[in-house]
Amino acid sequence: MGFAQKLITWQRRHGRHGLPWQGTRDPYRIWLSEVMLQQTQVAAVIPYYERFLVRFPDVHSLARASEDDVLRLWSGLGYYARGRNLRKAAMEISARGFPRAAQAIAELPGIGRSTAGAIAAFAFGKRAAILDGNVKRVIARCFAVEGEKRLWALAERLLPTRSIETYTQALMDLGATVCTRKNPVCAACPVAELCMAKKKSTQHAFPAPRPRKALPLKRATWWVLVKDGKVLMDKRPGAGLWGGLLTFPEAAQASWKIQSRKQLPVIEHGFTHFRLRATPVLCEVRGVSLRQGQQWLAIEAASHSATPTPVKKLLRQLAGR
């Protein structure tokens, strides 16, 4: 029994079968789950996925939504460009229909080659390869192969002629639950007898670890301006860090009439390429000249708006005072 068939047999007996996006051919639901699962754990995605479907049950309702509505539901899930691109892609799909070929799916905003392959396989039964982080690890270890180009070529060669959906899910499940980055459970692996890394006890060498660089530290001051139970929020530009989300102003303005100020505990938040150290300054104000993108919101309402996680946490602390 070859690599693909071993995985298919294993998945049917031991794989994950109760996830909310399984058991459907609806490309909208599959696409939504695959985008949410990019760089995000299944357990974190499930509640967002379920809430999203209640608010936007199909691609047309998502296409009609405002960016603020989408980002409000996405708030806390991270990597917010995914939410913005999801809405852009929905508008294209609503107008022209959902493409069926992986190459065409990959041309939609926010969808790369691997995500497109997963959608094509699960929604349309297409023989399309995937190569997310978990799958890279499985293939790299089993065949002792390194390099993106070689891994993609091998992923394409390994595709079975039948049961592509089960095979694709098996790759995902194996990487997530058995062939894990640390402490792989080789005794439970269906392809252990084929695995070159296991034979040589070099599992942790594949894929080769990237050299770790010290993340640069960026500092910011968050001006938390409050007045009559409301807080001043600043909408970020559409592109860049936290694009389209509401945050606190980071630059003081001469027009602010501050009555009192108090420095709150420093907040640290990690990103892929840097760490943020924000110093919140809570200010009671009498008056503020609003700039473009700024608005007053009730503190409780602001805590439920489209805000990044550290901002939301601080707003909830303020609302609880």
Give the whole-angstrom CA distance, residue 239 versus residue 279. 23
Decide: 106 and 116 in contact? Cβ < 8 Å: yes
Hey, which residues does 235 pair with through a beta bridge? Answer: 246
The yes-or-no answer on residue 34 being catalytic is yes
Among residues 191, 99, 113, the alpha carbon closest in space to that of 152 is found at 113
DSSP reduced 3-state for 102: helix
C-alpha pair distances (Å), 127 with each of 23, 150, 218, 245: 18, 18, 44, 38
Q: Is 75 exposed, middle or buried (0-12, 13-18, 19+ CB in 10 A)?
A: buried
Instruction: List the structure tokens of 132.
Output: 């997310």
Decide: 215 and 248 in contact? Cβ < 8 Å: no
C-alpha pair distances (Å), 236 with each of 71, 75, 243, 248, 281: 12, 14, 5, 9, 19
Q: State the catalytic residue, choosing from 34, 107, 148, 165.
A: 34
Active-site residue numbers? 34
